[in-house]
Amino acid sequence: MNTAVITGTGSGMGRATAELYLDRGWNVVAVDISENPGLQSEKLHWVTADVRNRDSLEAALAPAITAAGGQIDAVANIAGVFPPTTLETFTEADFRFIFDVNVLGVLNVTAACVPYMKAGSAVVNFASVDGFTVSRGQLLYGASKSAVIMITKSLALELAHKGIRVNGIAPGWVATPGNAATGRMEEAAKSIPIGRVAQPSEIAEWVWLLSDSTKAGFVDGETIVISGADVMR
């Protein structure tokens, strides 16, 4: 049976992606700093861990991966944080927090998983449209997601000889709990050319597609923008 390691499964797109892989019969090793919000499946292996800390992450992941069969077929790096910052407001603590979760976290999880991955497996990293175009008030978040886009390219090259592909997804507006809480989603939808925001489940479908080497086997090092034509790069 196939196994996916998915981070950020406590909420939003990570949770939707875990649900999709579980529905399709995969084992899911679900990683989040929060407790399981209620996902239920005998194929689910919940790991409460902080992606910023490689040692404790590896220690927590190892038994879960073993319990799931000892081999990983897909990794989805979805955990992320997006507090607003500008040159005027940012602090060093903001910088460490945003880059540690969004950038170091991707590296830690990928490094922890690669020893369990064979040819034909895949990594999918979550960037953002903010990594390609400037989003006002997202100084450090945008920079962190640009780093994810470049890390995706570098890791694709580093891991190609093992037959492991590494791609990214750069979502635009998605109907996640965090975005819903801003109360700005309806207004945002009006400015999106296709007239709506994305659903977390449709972004999860792209993780599924990119992790499928029979369909996406020649896609490597790419970050796909999914924004309803809101952002062109």
CA 99 – CA 88 distance, rounded (Å): 18
Pick between residue 54 and residue 120 the one whose CB is nearest to ligand NAD: 54
From the list 11-19, 21-29, 38-46, 180-188, the region that binds ligand NAD by CB under 6 A is 11-19
The 27-32 sheet, strands edge to edge: 44-48, 27-32, 3-7, 72-77, 117-126, 165-171, 223-226
Residues binding ligand NAD: what is the number (CB under 6 A)?
Answer: 29
Q: Is 141 known to be catalytic? A: yes
Judge whether 123 and 168 are in contact, CB under 8 Å. Answer: no
Q: Which two tokens stand for residue 216?
A: 């996406």
Question: Is 225 near ligand NAD (CB under 6 A)?
Answer: no
Stretch that binds ligand NAD, among 18-26, 39-47, 67-75, 169-177 (CB under 6 A): 169-177
The CA distance from 136 to 154, in Å, is 28
Nearer to ligand NAD, 44 or 79 (CB): 79
Q: Establish if 101 lies at the interface with ligand NAD (CB under 6 A).
A: yes
Rounded distance between C-alpha atoms, residue 60 and residue 33, angstroms: 12
Give the binding site for ligand NAD (CB under 6 A): 7-8, 10-14, 32-34, 50-52, 78-82, 101, 105, 126, 128, 171, 173-174, 176-179
